[in-house]
Amino acid sequence: MDLRDRRLRKEIGVILIVKILAITALWWWFVRDVRVPVDTTTTAQHLGAPALPTLNPTLQGNPHDQ
């Protein structure tokens, strides 16, 4: 291993450490405390709609043919 390789390895090593620290910091500040509890019930509430009322006749169309 020559001088240049040692220098490059050192630089890449420093970059990797800084990167791991940066990603950890991003996780710490923006992800760690974020809890978005999503389960079957919350998804049903999120997606669901109340029972279909009688539609305005102008909205009635032929259901898509399966």
Partner 1 sequence: MISEHLVDLSRLQFAVTALYHFLFVPLTIGMTWILVIMESVYVMTGKTIYKDMTRFWGKLYGINFALGVTTGITLEFQFGTNWAYYSHYVGDVFGAPLAIEGLMAFFLESTFIGLFFFGWNRLSRQQHLLVTILMAVGTNLSALWILIANGWMQNPVGAEFSYVTMRMEMVDFWTVIFNPDAQAKFVHTVSAGYTTGAMFVLSISAWYLLKGRDVEFAKKSFRIAAAFGFASICSVIVLGDESGYTVGEAQQTKLAAMEAMWETEPAPAPFNLIAIPNEAEMKNDFAIEIPWVMGIIGTRSLSKQIPGIKEIKEKNRERIISGMGAVTALDALRKSPDDPLLKKAFDEIKADLGFGLLLKKYVTSFDQVTPEIIEKAVNDTVPRVAPMFWSFRLMVGLGFLMLMIFGFALLFSVKGNFASKRWLLKSALYALPAPWLGCELGWFVAEYGRQPWTIYGVLPTHLSVSTLSVNSLYGSLAGFIGFYTVLLIVEMYLMIKFAKLGPGSLGTGRYANEAGQLAHA
User: Which residues in this chain contact partner 1 in the complex, by CB under 8 A?
Assistant: 2-5, 7-8, 11-12, 15-16, 19-20, 22-23, 25-27, 29-31, 34, 36, 38-40, 43-44, 46-53, 55-56, 58-64, 66
Q: How many residues does the chain have?
A: 66
* CB of residue 15 to partner 1, shortest distance in Å: 6
- For residue 53 the two structure tokens come to 């009322």
- For residue 16 the two structure tokens come to 């990797």
Write the CB contacts of 9 (distance below 8 Å, at least 6 apart in sequence): 1
* CB of residue 24 to partner 1, shortest distance in Å: 10
